[in-house]
Structure 1
Amino acid sequence: MAAAPTKQSLQKLYSSMLKTSESFSSYNFRSYFVRRTNSTFREIQDETDPARLAAFYAEKSNELAVLKRSAVVNQLYGGTRLVVEEQKPVRERGDI
């Protein structure tokens, strides 16, 4: 039986997945993976069963490796930015 991961290791895995999710250059992929990471870790937040936590940690560690490879490919073939991502310049009072 595998030992349950510590709270710190789960937090480190969460922050790594979140950082990798935010590294996607495509807005749609980036926002999807950030939402998915948040909801996945929110579901397991109150879990106390060591076996389930160990299985969750192992699965998400493998998923992190896939996510990192996908992020690199997405950065290579990112494309142009969407209108949603464009930052509008702040208007000055005299710029009417």
Structure 2
Amino acid sequence: MSPAVLQAGRSEVVSLLRSLLRTAREFADYNMKEYTKRRTIDVFRLHRDLADPSAISTAFSVGKSQLEVARRQAVLYSLYAPKFKTVMEIKH
């Protein structure tokens, strides 16, 4: 693969990571917000060393589908968000 193709792929992967982390911040519930953020970071670290183009493509498509699931869940959780903040969310 040429460096331009690798760079385009890298920019798409970084964009997916940022989108997933942005979506994690949309959750009203602290536990869901932190779980989504932690899970995203863990999965990206797990797949950091992938070299096979087909494995990269598969991981990327799974990531995109997970982004759509997270977006739907964020909307759903916002409809039924608790009216109070947890102890972790209260700022002193």
Shift of 1:25: 0.4
Q: If the length of structure 1 is used for normalisation, what is the TM-score?
A: 0.84
Segments of 4+ in structure 1 off by > 4 A?
A: none
CA distance in 2, matches of 1:83, 1:67: 24
Which one has the largest radius of gyration? 1
Picking from 33, 36, 46, the partner of 1:33 is 36
CA distance in 2, matches of 1:75, 1:68: 11
Picking from 78, 81, 86, the partner of 2:81 is 78
Q: Which amino acid aligns with 1:30?
A: K
Q: If the length of structure 2 is used for normalisation, what is the TM-score?
A: 0.87
After superposition, the CA RMSD in angstroms is 1.6
Structure 2 runs not aligned, ≥5 long: 1-5
CA distance in 2, matches of 1:15, 1:49: 23
Picking from 68, 71, 92, the partner of 1:68 is 71
Identity of aligned residues (%): 29
Structure 1 runs not aligned, ≥5 long: 89-96
Aligned residues: 86
* Secondary structure of the corresponding residue to residue 84 of structure 1: coil
